[in-house]
Amino acid sequence: MEPVSAALPEKINFSGVGKTFFVRGTEVQALQPIDLAVRAREFVALVGPSGCGKSTLLNLVAGLLQPSEGSVTYDGKPVQGLNFRVGYMTQKDTLLPWRSAADNIGVSLELHCRSVSKAERAERIAAMVDLVGLSGFENHFPGELSGGMRKRVALARTLIYEPETLLMDEPFGALDAQLKLVMQDQLQRITQDRKMTVLFVTHDLGEAIAIGDRVVVFSGRPGRIRAIRDVTLPRPRDVFRMRFSEEFSRLHEELWDELKDEVVKGTDI
């Protein structure tokens, strides 16, 4: 089966992109020059050892960093300065403990959409609460919420100002296996319904296959692309039952074959 986004226009392009950091006066190459194109509405999962440059790629798209070499474009234009057309969700939810779930969701509107009226703000927050399944908990404070609910608040906060693209850096890494499945299912439903582009960093091969259209495998630092695999499993997906399919097993084995050499070298995935 052809990837679902094969005929869609390019959204993000990394052309010869490399990144070097200076740590205590010493050059540390995090990322070797890579080429990667991400199409509109495509869900691309990035897997590889810690420190191989996966998060760096997200920061480059967000405009938080500039490449040491090569270029990063978004909709054909160089990323210069902060890219407000993307939403960024990290592993830590960074919720404000003195604000309710609803008010935490509304923080993004305060930062990105200051002209929004109080009535529209309340309406959009209510819509997000319903979208992520937080009805009945919107007035609870972060300390009163479970880990899964906190993640839903963080996701709603990222979505409320309607970014075109989601950058997600191990957002479900701290959740237990059951909650991960719930959040994976919710994320794929929302991003498919909203026709969003997603760059998703994970260390979980099963997660990458379950929700990605493509999986990009990186080597250890300095990171380079070892392999790219299309995930041809049809959507919508049952993120639990699909794990027992032959196609899932085949992809998992192929990806593990690409990663296991890095593990043998002593690199954690």
> CATH 3.40.50.300 spans which residues of the chain?
10-85+164-266
Rounded Cα–Cα distance for residues 268 and 50 (Å): 6
DSSP-based three-state secondary structure for 11: strand
Say what the pLDDT of residue 268 is: 46
Rounded Cα–Cα distance for residues 81 and 47 (Å): 26
Say what the pLDDT of residue 269 is: 44
Judge if the upstream peptide bond of residue 78 is cis by omega within 30 degrees of 0. Answer: no
* End-to-end C-alpha distance for the chain, whole angstroms: 29
Those residues with Cβ within 8 angstroms of residue 241's Cβ, 6 or more apart along the chain or in another chain: none
Could you tell me which of 164, 255, 150 has the C-alpha nearest to residue 210?
Answer: 255
Rounded Cα–Cα distance for residues 167 and 73 (Å): 15
Q: What is the DSSP letter of 105?
A: H
**How is 189-225 classified by DSSP, letter by letter?**
HHHHHTT-EEEEE-S-HHHHHHH-SEEEEE-SSSB-E
Q: What is the DSSP letter of 144?
A: G
Strands 26-39 and 10-23: antiparallel
Fold of 10-85+164-266: Rossmann fold (3.40.50)
Rounded Cα–Cα distance for residues 65 and 81 (Å): 8
Asked if 267 and 50 count as a contact pair (C-beta separation under 8 A), the reply is yes
DSSP-based three-state secondary structure for 168: strand
Number of H helices, E strands in the chain: 7, 10
What's the token pair of residue 109? 């509107």
Q: What is the mean pLDDT of each run of 10 residues along the chain (269 residues)?
A: 65 96 86 96 93 92 96 96 94 92 91 77 93 94 93 93 94 87 92 96 94 94 91 91 92 90 57
Say what the pLDDT of residue 51 is: 81
